[in-house]
Amino acid sequence: MSYLFQKVKEQFNNKLPFVCYCKPNSDKIIALLQKDTSLFELRNEDCGFAFVSFDNEKRYLIPENNSDIYFETVSTSDFIFENNFASEINFSDKNNFENLVQSGVEAIQNGTFEKVVLSRKETIEVDNFDLELVFKKLVFNYKTAFKYFFFHPEIGFWIGATPEQFLKVDDDFVKTVSLAGTQTFDKNVETIWQNKEIKEQQIVTDYIVNNLKLFSDDVTFSKPYNQQAGSLVHIKTDIQAKINGRNSIPKIIELLHPTPAVCGFPKDKAKQFIVENEGYNREFYAGFLGEWNKDFQTYKENRSDLFVNLRCMKIENKEVNLYIGCGITKDSNPEKEFIETVNKSMTIKKVL
């Protein structure tokens, strides 16, 4: 066992808060081990690791000034893992989710909103969960994702490998992405997108760009392109802006979160539909997390690196709750949307 994971396991056994993470395309694991069990509210001026819920009402921080910080370089070439998790469909879950999607499509057709992102929770049992082994599986399988473990006794134990940047801040320069549409990746088959996925992703792009223009006279964005994320592929657009002063950043975060990529559009009506119809509390699924006001690799300040909390699960004893969703438009097919959630669930199950 490495020294870093020895300290992480001691922290977990002592029920003390911690976060352990590895940034996209990085070989460096960073861990912040909080010195006590305090639950710190996220404040604009603090430095540390942010953990924020989908509804933006639970906003917490593992603070730099109350944590021990550890680093480790990992070589993924040393690890070979097999996926031993079989895909078994629960037909009750399938029926419930397809009914939910159909309700969403009907709401769109009735003009309630243009898009809504609907999700489900899947519970499985896992024996012999090994912190170090599972984290290194995440690093091995998802090089381009943000991989993390987050634990606080008052919040729970969350892990994930998210492909989606929420917001990257470098002084008064911000970067984000519009990510939507999902297919399974096959290197031997050309990826063809249907109008449904193209429109779904364009809604996200337009929403982000239009909101950034409220704070910037210099907003640029790329053409949409394919982004592989493990065994899946998405449509992605890179967006960046030079904002008119850093004091705009809290307002930008408030406007963008949750984005149409995880909520829908218009946001308030889509969010209301989600809360009233999904049948469970998302908690921190589809929230955001990441470095807050400090790049812990370089120790430069006024830098935040935040990600949408997707491809994630919450672990409670031997039960694991997986959270998976998909964007719904007027052209959505309920059965195809359910299959998309199954494909997404397999990307995270393979590390268990």
Residue 162 within a domain? yes
Residue 81 within a domain? no
Residue 95 within a domain? yes
Among 37-41, 210-214, 219-223, 245-249, the range scoring the smallest mean pLDDT is 245-249
Reply yes or no on whether the pLDDT at 83 is more than 60: no
Q: Phi/psi class of residue 25: alpha, beta or left (left: φ > 0; alpha: ψ in -120 to 50)?
A: left
8 Å CB contact between 68 and 48 = no
CATH, residue 325: 3.60.120.10
Residue 337 within a domain? yes
Torsion angle in degrees (nearest 10) through CA of 297, 78, 20, 313: 130
The count of other CB atoms within 10 Å of the CB of residue 321 is 18
Reply yes or no on whether the pLDDT at 86 is more than 80: no
8 Å CB contact between 174 and 241 = yes
Question: What SS3 state is found at 88?
Answer: coil
8 Å CB contact between 20 and 49 = no
Round to whole Å and give the CA distance between 306 and 262.
Answer: 15
Reply yes or no on whether the pLDDT at 79 is more than 60: no
Tell me, what's the pLDDT at 332? 92
* Joined tokens for residue 132: 């170090």
The count of other CB atoms within 10 Å of the CB of residue 339 is 15
If one counts the domains in the chain, the total is: 1
Residue 135 within a domain? yes
Closest CA to 162 of 255, 58, 274, 288: 288
Residue 86 within a domain? no
Reply yes or no on whether the pLDDT at 87 is more than 70: no
Round to whole Å and give the CA distance between 315 and 312.
Answer: 10
The per-residue pLDDT of the chain, averaged, comes to: 92
Instruction: Locate the DSSP E strands across 163-297.
Output: 165-170, 173-184, 218-221, 225-229, 232-242, 264-265, 288-292, 294-295
For 100-119, what is the mean pLDDT?
96
Residue 279 within a domain? yes
For 17-37, what is the mean pLDDT?
96
Indicate if the alpha-carbon torsion angle 83, 88, 89, 93 is positive or negative. Answer: negative
Round to whole Å and give the CA distance between 25 and 67.
Answer: 25
Round to whole Å and give the CA distance between 211 and 79.
Answer: 43
pLDDT bracket for residue 310 (50, 70, 90): very high
pLDDT bracket for residue 347 (50, 70, 90): confident
Closest CA to 104 of 300, 352, 339, 327: 327
Residue 98 within a domain? yes
pLDDT, tens digit (0-9, with 9 covering 90-100), for 254-301 = 999 998 889 999 999 999 999 999 999 999 999 999 999 999 999 999
**Contacts of 262 by beta carbon, 8 Å cutoff, 6+ apart:** 54, 117, 286, 308, 310, 325
Element (H, E) at 325: strand 319-328
3-state helix, strand, coil in the chain (%, to 5): 30, 35, 35
DSSP state of 222: P
User: Domain of 189?
Assistant: 3-75+91-349
pLDDT, tens digit (0-9, with 9 covering 90-100), for 157-172 = 999 999 899 999 999 9
